[in-house]
Chains A and B, each alone.
Chain A
Amino acid sequence: MGFLDNYIYYIGAFGLIFVGLYIILVKHNLIKVIVGLGILDTGVNLFLISVGYIAKGTAPIFSRPGIDSEHMVDPVPQALVLTAIVIGVAVLALALSLAIRLYQHYGTLNLRKIREQRW
């Protein structure tokens, strides 16, 4: 159980990252690929947060006076993840708008079938 205690979050985070990368590498449907990007982002965010965690920690908010600051978790990764979440949603929205246009042009979202340009 000790192993799981220590690594469960890392396993979850990297599990998501690898499933996301797998979807992006293997699937042909553009919307599916964008779903993969979203999962990848979530995995990266979970990884960043787990880096900042401290065992038996509390949230870094002095909501009442006299709170123990010794066991507060690291606030920096949380700030980074707030930024990363918003950037992720921005990329997803732009990607989806491109997908809509692509569908209007080609009538399909299968990236295999869309080969206007070659090497």
Chain B
Amino acid sequence: MVNPVLLIAVPLALAFAIPALSLFSKRIAKFVPPIVLVFNLIISLLLLPRALENPVVISIGGWRPPFCINLVAGPVGVLFSAIIALVGLLVSVYSLDYIHPDPFYIEEVLQSKKGGVKEGPAEKYHMLYLLLLTGATGVVLTGDIFNLFVFFEILCISSYALVAYLRDKAGIESAVKYLIQGAVGSSLLLIGVGLLYGLFGTLNMAHIAQNIRTVSPISVFVPMVLIITGLGVEAAIFPLNAWLPDAHSSAPSSISAILSGIAIEVGLYAVLRVIFTIFGASSILLFLALLGILTLLIGELCAFCQSNIKRMLAYSSIGQVGLILFALSIATSYGVTGGLFQLVSHTLSKALLFLAAGYMIYRARSMEISALEGMGRKMPLTCLAFTIGAFSLVGLPPFIGFPSKFLIVRAALAAKETFLLVLIGLALLGTVIEGAYFFRVVQVLYFKTGKTDPEGKEAPIAALFPMFIFVVLIVVVGIYPKIVTGVLNSAAAELLNRLDYIRNVLG
């Protein structure tokens, strides 16, 4: 009997234990995240077969829902928690050696001439990292709207702190922007939750969903807009994503990988759960599809104009979020499956891109794309990984991006609506722009000889190993998409069928 609550309780216990443990040994902290995440990955995989048959509903404290908080480990929850554990594990292996090799950071430390920086904040980095992932796991597993808010805050606050972790000018400034927008977003979310509680007298998501039709649509509309706006800040939906490029480009690269690969996706998950399961709102889906395409085009166009590689990747994440949102708002079985597939594919590819870019930046000592000229010969393996990630994100055939984009196009065509056809045309235009800027980077890496001579050293093995695993995953799933489509199909079914969700939780 595996209990999903272990996925949250065990990481929390170990994160709480780190301050006490580090009194004995300073080095212990950095090995805690990989160990915990291996554990989480195993638990998630053990839960998966049961969750596919029937969602595992666990109530906390021994009361029956709706009188307690409950966790719902359905296909969606377990899929997300497995991805969080997997990506988190690989990135934590990467950060064993990559704590702060950012050149800017090192300069600042040299300037301030203060010793002892390495040890103190490094253990804080690992605690915050672990708690960020725990928050993300909590968001995807919980079945209670206020509990979702609490875990969302865990996720957000630890990412504010991690964005500021390098303590350089850019990092602090972006963290401030991120914090202000995020805090306003969470306040709006809380107002929305309060309105829902006032209307329905309960906080259990299934219970609210059951009663949603008893109140006039107009008074439900306001809390829905407030909640979606609040969650949309983290999910980087178009008018709410001004913080993202700054935050993702000035965080340490390992954190950028997590923010781009996990935090945004969890935000999107929360938006979807609220729209599909709680409100069952089909009326605003068209608007969301439009918003998705707008987000996509703006993200890709801005990415095209960037000369800073991490900002380019960050804007590309905005574009991808738009595509995923568009696919999910088609709200057919194909569409949601395609959207979830694209989400998985974006997580793997973007994490790989940020990890590879991290060491390239470190060696080149600059974030400008032009400074990376000729890197292909200096760091062949890292650049190969970067290229594979880029090709996968663009959607070239042998990689995971191809089947996911293919599914989205098929879903849009199968819906047989002219509006959607126009939008998918625009989405393909966005993909073309995406291809253009990624090929530009790849061309700089391989086909230009550098004027400046960057240090010719490959990344260390602790960084190459996770990148290698990402590459293997991207290629294998790209060739045999059947490995994941089964899970994705049942996940899509869970999201679309709110009556089953209500029945599973409330019995």
A/B: CB atoms within 8 Å of each other: yes
CA distance A44 to B192 in the complex (A): 10
Interface residue B500 (Cβ < 8 Å from any Cβ of A): no
Contact at A94–B203, with CB atoms within 8 Å? no
Contact at A102–B191, with CB atoms within 8 Å? no
With A48-B194, A51-B197 known to touch, is A105 a contact of B184 (CB < 8 Å)? no
Contact at A98–B191, with CB atoms within 8 Å? no
**Within 8 Å CB of B184, what residues of A?**
21, 24, 37, 40
Contact at A105–B194, with CB atoms within 8 Å? no
CA distance A94 to B194 in the complex (A): 25
Residues of B participating in the A interface, judged by any CB pair closer than 8 Å = 146, 150, 153, 157, 160-161, 164, 167-170, 172-176, 179-180, 183-184, 186-187, 190-191, 193-194, 197-198, 203, 245-246, 249-250, 302
**Within 8 Å CB of A95, what residues of B?**
176, 179-180, 183
Could you list 10 A-B pairs, sorted by A, with CB under 8 Å? A37-B180, A37-B183, A48-B197, A91-B179, A94-B161, A95-B183, A98-B175, A99-B176, A101-B164, A105-B173
Min distance, Cβ A18 to any Cβ of chain B, angstroms:
11
With A51-B197, A87-B153 known to touch, is A116 a contact of B176 (CB < 8 Å)? no
Beyond A17-B187, A80-B194, A83-B150: 17 further Cβ-contacts under 8 Å? A21-B184, A24-B180, A40-B184, A40-B187, A44-B187, A44-B194, A47-B194, A87-B153, A91-B153, A91-B157, A94-B157, A94-B160, A95-B179, A95-B180, A101-B172, A114-B173, A117-B170
Contact at A116–B190, with CB atoms within 8 Å? no
CA distance A33 to B112 in the complex (A): 29
With A98-B175, A101-B167, A117-B173 known to touch, is A76 a contact of B203 (CB < 8 Å)? yes
**Within 8 Å CB of A51, what residues of B?**
194, 197-198
CA distance A80 to B194 in the complex (A): 9
A14-44 CB contacts (< 8 Å) to partner B: 17, 20-21, 24, 30, 33, 37, 40-41, 44
Contact at A44–B191, with CB atoms within 8 Å? yes
Q: Mark A75-86, 1 if CB is under 8 A from B, else 0.
A: 011001001100
Interface residue A90 (Cβ < 8 Å from any Cβ of B): yes
Q: Which of B157, B170, B187, B302 has the most chain A CB atoms closer than 10 A to its own CB?
A: B187
Q: Which of B169, B172, B175, B186 has the most chain A CB atoms closer than 10 A to its own CB?
A: B172
Min distance, Cβ B155 to any Cβ of chain A, angstroms:
12
Contact at B191–A47, with CB atoms within 8 Å? yes
Interface residue A3 (Cβ < 8 Å from any Cβ of B): no
**Within 8 Å CB of A37, what residues of B?**
180, 183-184, 187
Min distance, Cβ B165 to any Cβ of chain A, angstroms:
11
Contact at A102–B176, with CB atoms within 8 Å? yes
Q: Number of A residues whose C-beta is below 8 Å from B?
A: 34
How would you classify the secondary structure of chain A's contact residues: helix, strand, loop or mixed? helix
**Within 8 Å CB of B175, what residues of A?**
98
Contact at A116–B170, with CB atoms within 8 Å? yes
**Within 8 Å CB of B160, what residues of A?**
94, 98
CA distance A91 to B183 in the complex (A): 8
**Within 8 Å CB of B180, what residues of A?**
24, 33, 37, 95
Min distance, Cβ A119 to any Cβ of chain B, angstroms:
7
Min distance, Cβ B255 to any Cβ of chain A, angstroms:
16
Contact at A98–B179, with CB atoms within 8 Å? yes
**Within 8 Å CB of B174, what residues of A?**
117
Q: Which of A20, A40, A84 has the most chain B CB atoms closer than 10 A to its own CB?
A: A84
CA distance A51 to B202 in the complex (A): 12
Nearest 4 CB-CB pairings of A with B: A51-B198, A48-B194, A101-B172, A105-B169
Min distance, Cβ B233 to any Cβ of chain A, angstroms:
13
Closest residue on chain B to residue A114 by CB atoms: B173
CA distance A87 to B197 in the complex (A): 19
Min distance, Cβ A32 to any Cβ of chain B, angstroms:
11
Closest residue on chain A to residue B160 by CB atoms: A94
Select which of B153, B197, B250, B302 is within 8 A of A77 by beta carbon: B197
Closest residue on chain B to residue A74 by CB atoms: B201
Select which of B153, B198, B246 is within 8 A of A117 by beta carbon: B246
CA distance A105 to B172 in the complex (A): 9
Contact at B172–A41, with CB atoms within 8 Å? no
Closest residue on chain B to residue A101 by CB atoms: B172
**Within 8 Å CB of A40, what residues of B?**
184, 187
Contact at A116–B173, with CB atoms within 8 Å? yes
Contact at A76–B197, with CB atoms within 8 Å? yes
**Within 8 Å CB of A62, what residues of B?**
none
Min distance, Cβ B269 to any Cβ of chain A, angstroms:
21
With A40-B184, A44-B191, A47-B191 known to touch, is A119 a contact of B176 (CB < 8 Å)? no
Interface residue A7 (Cβ < 8 Å from any Cβ of B): no
Closest residue on chain B to residue A95 by CB atoms: B179
With A30-B176, A51-B197, A98-B179 known to touch, is A90 a contact of B157 (CB < 8 Å)? yes
